[in-house]
Structure 1
Amino acid sequence: MITMYSLGAAEEVTGSKHILEIDGHQIMIDCGAFQGKRQLSDTKNRDFDIAADKLDAVVLTHGHYDHCGLLPVLTKKGFTGNIYATPATRDIANLVMMDSARIQARDAEFLAKQANKKGEKFTWRPLFNEDDVVKTANQIISLSYNRKMYIAPNVSLEFYDAGHILGSGFAYLTITNGSEETRVLFTGDIGRKEKPIIRNPAVNMPPPDYIVLESTYGNRKHEDAEFAMKELERVVRDTCSKKGKIIIPSFAIERAQELVFYLHLLTDRKKIPVVPIYVDSPMAANATSVFRVHPECYDESVNEAFLKHHKNPFGFGSLSFTTSVEESKSLNDKEGPMIIISADGMCEAGRVLYHLANEIGNERNTILIVGYMAENTLGRKIRDGEKEVKILGDMYHVNAKVEQINAFSAHADYTEMTDWLKTIDTSRLKNIFLVHGEKEAQEFFTDYLHQNGFPNVTTVKYDETYDLK
């Protein structure tokens, strides 16, 4: 008996948590935190309820917070088993979890002071601390791409490159029952072809019986990379001509490194003026160091530059990484033109909030949106053109120009995912389960898949159990 159910990322984006149960043995695929509106996300993350001691193993597809962020909570709840991940995912996840623990500790200190000033009772506590992250990290077992390992009785795991971020993997699970096999492929987040730095999503796996497929961009298409380069060039040149600042809210892992890579190319080709570029995110700086020690994940072009010619694709003359709070604050006093790449990607936390508060009212400046913005987030409101937004408790008029470039997403869009499905061997495919997407996107994607020869598609609903026969 094989069944599957989801505790997150069911008819919504973020919070990926899927359970595969095989004859009473439970394997969890990803244990992600919900991201989005701060208070709602905190409530949902605290409501995470599972019999952790009953899990045989956890499989981690990649190191983004919405896939790994609640692993320390899981271990606090009594999970003592192995967590399987690629070597690069192990390093990225450790970085992300530790960063989250430190942010929560700072938030608790700040909020306690605020409550004390107001004479209010303060009860909020972090979900986990640094010690919990260390304990979790000790449970991670590294498994390289294309290496098979048994992780439960009659259950083997093999990772194939998902092409999404550094170390991301398709989790291919094979369940053996005598001479019969049931094969389940969890895509995690699936990447795009021809992205810089990392390889294309793998297509060389054996034919699966079931695919659990993400659908973040189930109803949206991306521009191509060449268009993105031209748009980035246009935005930089236009803003620099006004001596303005370009604020780019960006996730610290993959997106920040990719933007640096593109800006490096444009500068080398003299397509944009030499302008100061600041990556204002300690985690992005640390993540870039992780990139440097995992060349096994690079595509051929980066391998060529990085390994054979000893050039650093993640650093050049006009680029600076700011790590201290003082360095970050000093950017507010500097005159443009300049480019500031800062986390958080959805503008719900982090240093980017202070840059937005300082710069969003200036019409010479540009806010450049380069990634997914969840519903009800500040980033979504800015992207959707709201003229006045609340930042750090105060209202600000949006006078800065707002631009968007869709081609930088690390997620495949619905046409790219369908093309990938047509490229792999689907001769045994019985059903596609859609997760990690908003309802409207999943409805559109389901219709599109039907039109393209994939008639059996199921949208996974929260806590509903599905038989895999």
Structure 2
Amino acid sequence: MKVKFCGAAQEVTGSAHLLTLEDGYTILLDCGLYQGNDKEMKDFNETFLFDPAKIDCLILSHAHIDHTGRVPKLVKDGFRGSIFATHATRSLCSIMLMDSAMIQERDADYYNKRNPDNKREPLYNSEDVHQTMQLFTGCPYDKWVNVRDNVMLQYRDAGHILGSASVTLRIHESNRTIHFGFTGDIGRPDRPILRDPQKMPAVDYLICESTYGDRLHDEKPKELEKFLRIIQEACVERKGKLLIPAFSVGRTQEIVYILDQLENQGKLPKIPVFVDSPLAVNATTIFGSHPECYDEDLEKYLLMDDNPFGFNGLQYIKKVEASKAINGMKEPCIIISASGMMNAGRSKHHLFNMIEDPRNTLLLVGYASPQTPGGKIRNGATGLKLFGQYKQVLAHVEQMDSFSAHADRNEIREFLRGQEQHVKKLFLVHGTIEPQESLAGLLSDVGFKDVQIPELGQEYDL
């Protein structure tokens, strides 16, 4: 058996890992879109390090675009196998991949109007998404599912976003049984909405994420206190706007849920709150359709408040005209908008309009690739180019990594506790080299015998 790392190798996006069994059967774990502007990765989304037509099946860990965003491209280029996912991941993919296709089509149209002699095709289109969704097989948590005669699959709740899961494969070949694991993105314990991450069965080989392998997040009590302080200073004291760029799926719903709790407790200032993302609006509807993913706290909360994603003063925005009108408002407000890295979507437009006003605040609540506007601001940029114009960063900048849906180094360690007795080789992916090296040191210290940090395209015999 071989494993080849075809994405998210010393990178945080573009997850794709290829297993080839001894009889030639191929299993692709995730098929994500690279999100960023690294020149060395400019062709990543257009090409595969394998022949899509020769992939036998695809197993998805969760619905985020950096894990699923190239699936329609895979189908467009010849893949016809089964796509395994949890039921909630399948539901989210139906809207997220269509949204991604519309972005691909719109970007191609925009480019072609300005470059009529050098036209380009979208990565995929809406029809490719329709064809893709027909290949999905929905799977429950905690039950072994037959992939083929000698391969079984089990999903366990990873607590990262709705429907997220770790992947365990039980593979029979020759005279041995191999248990192969992929953590997907590991969530965090004691977070709103979702259940805590469930530990995986013991495995022989493991692919593990490492996004925050070199840092610790704020603890929960400090988080709420800090969040309220930021809202108070931005919207009450400075009478400005608070922009929270957030991923449409997961982060947005968590922030809305926390604001809903603050509103019920009488702690939220009486200011408008806008969720300005059509995808987030649709995703929130899907959240309401999958209570099997809720934690016990949310189940109890629903007895008091039957709509944890709605409160007085909250408006969900779909139409472009309504989004533009927010920029013309003079009064304080909170704007939750995608994309989370501010490299596309409506959050980029809000950033353009807000960045040079010192009354305003930008609250960064998740990872952003270094080359994106969010990443540059996170790293201390005093100015950046947006829509062809240079803008100074005069707005206040706050960071709250405690909102991250990714486990920190101690939470990763706890998630893996016990595996050190079984794992023969552990591969760190979905992280940049510094966090990976830091996490590799920690895991080696606690007993993992062989920790690898693969490069893009690197292949290992198992």
Assess same fold via TM > 0.5.
yes
Work out whether 1:6 is the aligned partner of 2:5. Answer: yes
Indicate conservation of the 8 Å contact 1:92/1:290, yes or no: yes
Residues 60 and 67 in structure 1, CA contact (< 8 A), matched pair in contact too: yes
Q: Classify the secondary structure of the residue corresponding to 1:335.
A: coil
**Partner residue, 1:21:** 20
SS, match of residue 193 in structure 1: coil
Alignment equivalent of 1:140, drawn from 136, 140, 149: 136
1:345 is aligned, of 340, 348, 361, to: 340
Work out whether residues 239 and 246 of structure 1, in 8 Å CA contact, stay in contact via their aligned partners in 2: yes
Deviations 1:180-205 (A, max 9, x none): 321011011111100110011112x4
Equivalent residue, structure 2, for 1:376: 371
Which residue of structure 1 aligns with residue 316 of structure 2?
321
2:362 to 358, 364, 367: 367
2:43 corresponds in structure 1 to: 43
Tell me what 1:73 maps to: 73
Inter-partner Cα distance in structure 2 for 1:38 and 1:288: 32
Q: Give secondary structure in 2 for the equivalent of 1:351.
A: helix
SS at match of 2:188: coil
Cα deviation 1:97-148 (Å, max 9, x = unaligned): 1001111222222233334xxxx52412210000000100000000110121
Match of residue 416, structure 1, among 393, 404, 411: 411
Spell out the pairing of 1:192-231 with structure 2 (5 A cutoff).
Answer: 192-203=188-199, 205-231=200-226
Residue by residue over 1:301-340, the C-alpha shift from the partner in whole angstroms, topping out at 9 and shown as x without a partner, is 112223x445211111111110000000000111221000
Between the aligned partners of 1:40 and 1:313, the Cα distance in structure 2 is 43
Distance 1:316 1:96 in 2: 25
In structure 1, what is the Cα distance between the partners aligned to 2:76 and 2:94?
16
8 Å contact from structure 2 (residues 202, 422) kept in 1: yes
Contact 1:361 1:398 in 2 (8 A): yes
CA contact (8 A) 2:211 2:432 kept: yes
Q: Can you list the C-alpha shifts for 1:196-221, whole angstroms capped at 9, x where unaligned?
A: 10011112x43111111001111122
Tell me, yes or no, if the aligned pair for 1:353 and 1:392 is still in contact at 8 Å: no
1:164 equivalent in structure 2: 160
2: CA distance, partners of 1:166 / 1:41: 29
Correspondence for 1:454: 448
Distance 1:35 1:439, change over 3 A: same
Q: Show CA shifts across 1:38-61 (max 9, x none).
A: 877653201224212221210000
* Superposed displacement of residue 271, structure 1: 2.5
- Report whether the alignment pairs 1:58 with 2:58: yes
- 1:56–1:152 CA contact under 8 A, matched in 2: no
Query: 3-state DSSP class of the match of 2:444?
Result: helix
Task: Please tell me whether the aligned partners of residues 158 and 185 of structure 2 are also in contact (alpha carbons under 8 angstroms).
Answer: yes
Q: Which runs of 5+ in 2 are unaligned?
A: none
Supply the distance in 1 between the matched residues of 2:121 and 2:323 (Cα, whole angstroms). Answer: 27
2:177 matches 1:187: no
SS of 2:345 mapped into structure 1: coil
CA distance in 1, matches of 2:270, 2:352: 26
Which residue is 1:335 aligned to? Answer: 330
Which residue matches 2:94? 94
Secondary structure at 2:376's aligned position in 1? helix
Contact 2:168 2:201 in 1 (8 A): no
Deviations 1:41-96 (A, max 9, x none): 65320122421222121000000001000001111111111000000000111211
**Counterpart in the other structure of 1:434:** 428
Quick one: which amino acid aligns to residue 64 of structure 1?
H
TM-aligned CA deviation for residue 429 of structure 1: 1.8
The DSSP-based 3-state class of the residue aligned with 2:253 is helix
In structure 1, how many angstroms separate the alpha carbons of the residues matched to 2:41 and 2:230? Answer: 33
**Paired AA for residue 19 in structure 1:** L
Structure 1 unaligned regions, length at least 5: none
CA deviation after TM superposition for structure 1 residue 353, in Å: 1.1
1:206/1:111 Cα in 2 relative to 1: closer, same or farther (>3 Å)? Answer: closer
> 2:284 maps to which residue?
288
In the aligned structure 2, how far is the partner of 1:67 from the partner of 1:457?
23
SS in 2 for 1:403: strand
Q: Secondary structure at the match of 1:332?
A: helix
- Aligned-residue sequence identity (percent) comes to 42
Q: 1:212 aligns to what SS in structure 2?
A: strand
Once the two structures are superposed, the pairs formed by residues 247-266 of structure 1 within 5 Å of their partners are 247-266=243-262
How far apart, in 2, do the equivalents of 1:362 and 1:429 lie? 52
Q: Give the aligned partner of residue 304 of structure 1.
A: 300
Deviation larger for 170-179 or 246-255? 170-179
Q: What is the deviation of 1:170?
A: 0.5
The whole-number CA distance in structure 1 between the counterparts of 2:112 and 2:92 is 30
2-structure distance, mates of 1:46, 1:288: 31
RMSD: 1.5
Shift of 1:11: 1.1
C-alpha contact 1:208 1:426 (8 A) present in aligned 2: no
Distance 1:310 1:337, change over 3 A: closer
Q: Distance in 2 between matches of 1:238 and 1:83?
A: 47
| One-letter identity of the residue aligned with 1:137 | M
Q: Which is worse superposed, 43-52 or 323-332?
A: 43-52
Residue identity opposite 1:5 in structure 2: K
Distance in 2, Cα, partners of 1:207 & 1:42: 38
Q: What is the match of residue 438 of structure 2?
A: 444
Task: Report the counterpart of residue 246 of structure 1 in structure 2.
Answer: 242
Q: Does 1:84 align with 2:78?
A: no
Distance (Å, rounded) in 2 between the aligned partners of 1:242 and 1:252: 27
Q: How high is the TM-score relative to the length of structure 1?
A: 0.95
The question of whether the paired residues in 2 share the 8 Å contact of 1:38 and 1:348 is answered with no
Q: Hey, what's the Cα distance between the residues in 2 that align with 1:141 and 1:327?
A: 38
Paired residue total? 460
